[in-house]
Amino acid sequence: MPTEHHPADADQAVPELGLDMIEGQPVTGSLGRILPEATLARLTQYLRALNAMQARGDEQTSSGVLAAEAGVNPAILRKDLSLLGSYGTRGVGYVVMELTEHISKAMGLLRQWRVAIIGAGNLGRALSGYGGFRSRGFEIVALLDSAPEVVGTVVGDLQVQDIADMDEILASAEVNIAVLSVPGGAAQDLCNKLVERGVRSILSFAPVVLQVPTGVNLRKVDLATELQILAYHAQNLDT
Amino acid sequence: MPTEHHPADADQAVPELGLDMIEGQPVTGSLGRILPEATLARLTQYLRALNAMQARGDEQTSSGVLAAEAGVNPAILRKDLSLLGSYGTRGVGYVVMELTEHISKAMGLLRQWRVAIIGAGNLGRALSGYGGFRSRGFEIVALLDSAPEVVGTVVGDLQVQDIADMDEILASAEVNIAVLSVPGGAAQDLCNKLVERGVRSILSFAPVVLQVPTGVNLRKVDLATELQILAYHAQNLDT
DNA sequence: GGCTGTGAATCTTTTCACAGCC
DNA sequence: GGCTGTGAAAAGATTCACAGCC
């Protein structure tokens, strides 16, 4: 790729879409296995459905039931699960708790992850209050912002800290994962800083395409993107 | 536990993760064309990159430059664009404004979309203040909640209305798209109501799998899902 | 009988590579 | 020379269908 005028980092093209991810391509799974991206996405759905079952008191389930609840085809559910190992019983199905455990393990959810939220605007505050995180092994250990009028305020059980002190905060709080909820203009810069400080997993909500070096794991959620795709379908459903 | 197939999701290579989508499968594009889901996701990235170019004053670009900026492979970019028509010039490239226009048209972004946000919690408020929407053709015309202490309060330039009045609000505000930012427990119920009231495009942030009838267009963004997928990659990058 | 696990078949998406045009 | 547009090849994901086991 002949390069050009703009600082476009021309290494491997990573399918960016709405949410992309990883860099170097194949990532080994929990036991040397490789889990395709699409499978990962579905595994989280299965976990969710399994949680609901557990809450209802169901102890067993089957690929048919679980698939219906997660909104997927039973065959692919079985294929997904078979990538983790053989945890079902023919003629019977799966044990809810056991399966939950195996999926959680494969996805790295048995350990606690320490998350810093960068940007305490509306979205950052909403995220820091989002209950779904803590219950799933994600602990929000820091909330940072640069605006003097925001620094020091308290959100939930966290006090907003100054981005200028990011270095020490990231280190002392032992942050594994950073969530970027800052305006587009500030995102690449902060992203670079995070990477420099050793953060290798970043979830960005900023409406820009971020460039990260190989080995850094970036996912992106773009709210405008979601609405745009919805608009496309709406246009073709309506009229 | 209906055993039937809920079409729900399709998720191909689109790191869909948490987003599934459309129902009936093939959706015709702007001119009878069919745009694959993965292409749609990338088109929004191209739009974003094109916007940045326009802001910088670039008038022309090429698949190489645009692809680098959007983080994709140039070949697939050309293939994506070729699905919309032939808008480039061999040996030269694409005209930024023109291409922006064509993509916007294909995606249904030339018209204004009227969005209602259901749920004025932290997330709903964050969404209603999200600047990226208005600038891209999405106008937030209503913000609803059910909590008496929230109804009537003002968020940005909107007053929170009562979900009990959803019927009239949806009709009088001519809502095309609804965003669901309510707790999981309330989501399916409200989703059903929306569908009954004729809303056929829904973006859900609720952490549950929603079932919608065929013909309704549901996308889902799940913040916990995103972190979970990140955790998987982090686990395999770290140690 | 019922349900898992999986090879084989099918379908989709991406990449290659080059002809065609400026 | 450079870059688009696109068939053809490759890679990947999903579905089918059935053997194997409880």
**A41 to B8: CB separation less than 8 angstroms, yes or no:** no
Determine the residue type at A5. Answer: H
CB half-sphere exposure, A1, CA atoms < 13 A:
22
B3 touches strand C (CB under 7 A): no
A185: which 2 tokens?
A: 């203009």
Which nucleotide is nearest to B64 if distance is taken from CA to C1'? D3
Q: Which positions in chain B touch A42 (Cβ < 8 Å)?
A: 11
Q: Could you report the per-residue pLDDT of B43-94, keeping only the tens digit for each?
A: 999 999 999 999 999 999 999 999 999 999 999 999 999 999 999 999 999 9
Instruction: Give yes or no for residue B130 having a pLDDT over 60.
Output: yes
Residue of higher predicted confidence among B19 and A97: A97
Least trusted range by pLDDT, from A54-58, A188-192, A215-219:
A215-219
DSSP conformational letter for B201: E
B98: which 2 tokens?
A: 């023109």
Q: Could you report the per-residue pLDDT of B134-162, keeping only the tens digit for each?
A: 878 899 999 999 999 999 999 999 999 99
The whole-number pLDDT of residue B238 equals: 57
A94 touches strand C (CB under 7 A): yes
Query: Contact, B114 vs B174, CB < 8 A?
Result: yes
A216: which 2 tokens?
A: 């850094």
Domains defined along chain B, listed by start: 7-110 (1.10.10.10), 113-227 (3.40.50.720)
Query: Which bases in strand D are touched by protein, i.e. have an atom under 7 Å from a CB?
Result: 1-7, 12-17, 20-22
User: B77-82: long-range contacts (C-beta < 8 A, 24 or more apart)?
Assistant: B77/B42, B77/B46, B80/B39, B80/B42, B80/B43, B80/B46, B81/B46
| Cβ atoms within 10 Å of A89's Cβ, excluding its own | 11
A204: which 2 tokens?
A: 């960005």
Which nucleotide is nearest to B80 if distance is taken from CA to C1'? D5
- C-alpha separations of A15 from A220, B80, B106, B120 in Å: 11, 13, 21, 34
Q: Name the residue closest to C17, CA to C1'.
A: B75
Q: Could you report the per-residue pLDDT of A14-59, keeping only the tens digit for each?
A: 333 333 333 333 334 344 458 999 999 999 999 999 999 999 999 9
Note the residue count of chain B: 239
**Residue B13: pLDDT band by 50, 70, 90 thresholds?**
very low
Q: Closest to B138 (Cβ–Cβ): which among A20, A207, A227?
A: A227
What share of chain B has pLDDT > 70, as a percent?
85
Please give the distance of CA B122 from its chain centroid, rounded to a whole number: 20
Q: Closest to A223 (Cβ–Cβ): which among B127, B202, B229?
A: B127
The C1' atom of C20 and the CA atom of A66 lie apart, in whole Å, by: 53
- The alpha carbon dihedral of A234, A239, B4, B7 has a sign of negative
| Cβ atoms within 10 Å of A128's Cβ, excluding its own | 22
- Look at the block and give the residue holding tokens 């010039």: B89
B81 touches strand D (CB under 7 A): yes
A64 touching B (Cβ < 8 Å): yes
The whole-number pLDDT of residue A17 equals: 30
Which of these, B74, B149, B135, B37, lies nearest to A230 by C-alpha position? B37
**A209 to B19: CB separation less than 8 angstroms, yes or no:** no
User: B62-68: long-range contacts (C-beta < 8 A, 24 or more apart)?
Assistant: B62/B92, B62/B93, B62/B94, B63/B88, B63/B93, B63/B94, B64/A1, B64/A2, B64/A4, B65/A4, B65/A6, B65/A8, B65/B93, B66/B94, B67/A13, B68/A1, B68/A3, B68/A4, B68/A6, B68/A8, B68/A9, B68/A10, B68/A13
Distance CA A23, CA A28 (A): 13
**Which residues of chain B (86-115) touch nucleic strand C at CB < 7 A?**
89-92
Distance CA B207, CA B222 (A): 6
